[in-house]
Amino acid sequence: MNNSPIQAVIFDWAGTIVDFGSFAPTSIFVEAFRQGFDFDISLAEAREPMGIAKWDHIQAVGRIPSVDKRWIEQFGNPMSSEDVDRIYAAFMPLQKAKVADHAAPILNAVEVVDNLKEKGVKVGSCSGYPREVMDVLIPVAADYGYKPDYVVASDDMPQGGRPAPFMALKNVIELGITDVNACVKVDDSAPGIEEGHNAGMWTVGLLLSGNEAGLTFEEFQSADAETLDAAREKAREKLIKSAPHYLIDTIADLPGVIADIEQRLKAGERP
């Protein structure tokens, strides 16, 4: 029985629930460019389009002006679809080999999720990872205690991934949700927040655990207030463009947001 006006919370994976700082995909993008073409990109360049499906992400990195310029200097032409295919082919086995190393839950993630389940709220999830990567990640995350009620991978939806609403809405259908206004989307990337908006949901952006701050958990733990403020502002600048309803540091801060949304729903508000 649901004791909350919220019917479902739909979480992103890397940088939201697991993999503090979203390092599994970023480091692998750098390595895949190197393996595929002996071409170097920075971690910052690898992070730039985070949140979209991985093939599209590689293509988007190739279109960053600084990367495009170096690519043309090295190869004589802009990056082609065939080039993207070759980098993606290098990316996939690397990602599958490494994703389990970054499956540890972030801070209070399991506790927050379990509390939602205890209230009868369904827990959905979606990811920019393709299904063959998720098939490696899901059982390892389950061993750590994270077991969402449903998982959608980026290539499960032929209509495409974020910022389109299809992955979020697939969760709605499979979880038997009757009102998208009673759903919350939680993500550390702008495309993931836009996905929530496009699906008609409340949206929550995460500032410090995800891709935009790019801190390791150790850096986060040892950082002084000034360092955290700088990381927060860097992430806020990127995420605010997608106009999330709430911005918080990590999933540990989500219970307060959930309580606020519950009150707003009871008062008749909609996202």
| Cβ neighbours of 34 (radius 10 Å) | 14
For residue 2, being part of any structural domain is answered with no
Q: Supply φ then ψ for residue 199, to 5 degrees.
A: -90, 0
Tracing tokens 């974020």 back to the chain, one arrives at: 162
List the beta bridge partners of residue 152. 126
For residue 182, being part of any structural domain is answered with yes
DSSP 269: -
- The confidence score (pLDDT) of residue 25 equals 85
List the beta bridge partners of residue 202. 184
CATH code of the domain in which 212 resides = 3.40.50.1000
Q: Which of 19, 38, 54, 241 is catalytic?
A: 54
- The confidence score (pLDDT) of residue 2 equals 82
Residue 65 and residue 219: Cα distance in Å, rounded? 30
User: Do residues 146 and 106 make contact, with C-beta atoms less than 8 angstroms apart?
Assistant: no
- The confidence score (pLDDT) of residue 159 equals 84
Which of 100, 116, 136 terminates a domain? The answer is 100
User: Do residues 149 and 157 make contact, with C-beta atoms less than 8 angstroms apart?
Assistant: no
Higher-scoring residue by pLDDT: 159, 1: 159
For residue 140, being part of any structural domain is answered with yes
Q: Supply φ then ψ for residue 165, to 5 degrees.
A: -90, 5
Q: Are residues 130 and 244 in the same domain?
A: yes
Residue 172, judged by CB atoms within 10 A of its CB (0-12, 13-18, 19+), counts as buried
Q: How confident is the model at residue 160 (pLDDT cuts 50, 70, 90)?
A: confident
Q: Are residues 92 and 154 in the same domain?
A: no
Q: How far is CA 251 from the centre of its chain?
A: 12
User: Structurally, how many domains does the chain consist of?
Assistant: 2
Percentage of the chain modeled with pLDDT above 90: 90
Q: Is residue 1 pLDDT above 80, yes or no?
A: no
Q: Are residues 82 and 118 in the same domain?
A: no
Q: Are residues 153 and 237 in the same domain?
A: yes
pLDDT in tens, 232-243: 999 999 999 999
Q: Is residue 50 pLDDT above 90, yes or no?
A: no
Q: Are residues 71 and 136 in the same domain?
A: no
Residue 259 and residue 57: Cα distance in Å, rounded? 35
pLDDT in tens, 13-22: 999 999 999 9
Which of 100, 116, 137 terminates a domain? The answer is 100
Q: Is residue 139 pLDDT above 90, yes or no?
A: yes
Q: Is residue 3 pLDDT above 90, yes or no?
A: no
- Domain assignment of residue 181, given as a range: 8-22+102-266
- The confidence score (pLDDT) of residue 8 equals 98
Packing angle, helices 81-98 and 131-144, rounded to 10: 20
Which ranges constitute the DSSP H helices of 100-252?
109-118, 131-144, 166-174, 190-198, 217-222, 225-239
Three-class DSSP category at 189 = coil
Q: Is the dihedral of CA 30, 31, 34, 35 positive or negative?
A: negative
- The confidence score (pLDDT) of residue 197 equals 98
Q: Are residues 141 and 82 in the same domain?
A: no
List the beta bridge partners of residue 10. 124, 185
Active site residue 96: no
Q: How confident is the model at residue 146 (pLDDT cuts 50, 70, 90)?
A: very high
Q: How confident is the model at residue 106 (pLDDT cuts 50, 70, 90)?
A: very high
For residue 141, being part of any structural domain is answered with yes
Closest to 104 measured CA to CA, from 28, 27, 23: 23
For residue 3, being part of any structural domain is answered with no
Q: Are residues 172 and 246 in the same domain?
A: yes
CATH code of the domain in which 43 resides = 1.10.150.240
For residue 169, being part of any structural domain is answered with yes
In terms of residues, how long is the chain?
271
For residue 61, being part of any structural domain is answered with yes
Active site residue 122: no
pTM of the model: 0.92
Cα-based distances in Å from 230 to 26, 93, 211, 215, 237 = 21, 35, 14, 11, 11
Mean residue pLDDT across the chain: 95
Q: Are residues 44 and 156 in the same domain?
A: no
Q: Is residue 52 pLDDT above 90, yes or no?
A: no
Residue 89 and residue 208: Cα distance in Å, rounded? 31
Which of 70, 100, 130 terminates a domain? The answer is 100
Q: Are residues 71 and 117 in the same domain?
A: no
What is the maximum alpha-carbon separation in the chain?
62
Q: Are residues 68 and 128 in the same domain?
A: no
Cα-based distances in Å from 136 to 1, 33, 220, 230 = 32, 22, 27, 34
For residue 271, being part of any structural domain is answered with no
pLDDT (mean) for 160-181: 95
Angle value at C-alpha 136, between 130 and 142, nearest 5 degrees? 115
Q: Are residues 231 and 216 in the same domain?
A: yes
Q: Are residues 42 and 114 in the same domain?
A: no
